[in-house]
Amino acid sequence: MLEMMAKYWWVLVLRGVSAIVFGVLAFLWPGVTIEVLILFFGVYMLVDGVFTVVAAVGGRAHTEHWVLLLCEGLLGIGVGIVTWIAPVVAGIALLMYVAAWALVTGVLEIVAAIRLRREIAGEFWLALSGVLSIGFGVLLVAFPLAGALTLVWVLGGYAVAFGIVLIVLGFRVRGAADGTSPVGALKA
Q: Report pLDDT digits (tens) over 86-112.
A: 887 888 887 888 889 889 998 998 998
Q: Which of 76-80, 99-103, 135-139, 150-154 has the lowest mean pLDDT?
A: 150-154
Please state the rounded mean pLDDT for residues 126-155: 85
Q: Which position has the higher pLDDT, 53 or 144?
A: 53
CB 15 within 8 A of CB 152: no
Residue 12 lies in a domain: yes
pLDDT of residue 63: 76
Residue 31 lies in a domain: yes
Neighbouring C-beta atoms of residue 133, cutoff 10 Å: 20
pTM above 0.85, yes or no: no
Query: Nearest 5°: phi and psi at 54?
Result: -60, -45
pLDDT band, very low/low/confident/very high, at 183 (cuts 50, 70, 90): very low
Burial of 118 (0-12, 13-18, 19+ CB in 10 A): exposed
* Residue among 84, 107, 98, 99 nearest 137 (CA): 99
Please state the rounded mean pLDDT for residues 108-117: 86
Kindly report, residue by residue over 43-78, the tens digit of the pLDDT. Answer: 989 999 999 999 889 888 887 778 988 999 999 999
pLDDT of residue 97: 84
Encode 9-31: b = buried (16+ Cβ within 10 Å), e = exposed: bebbbbbbebbbbbbebbeeeee
Residue 187 lies in a domain: no
Which amino acid is present at 82?
V
Per the document, the length of the chain is 188
Residue 188 lies in a domain: no
Residue 185 lies in a domain: no
Residue 51 lies in a domain: yes
Total domains present in the chain: 1
For residue 153, the enclosing domain spans 2-179
pLDDT of 136 above 90: no
Residue 148 lies in a domain: yes
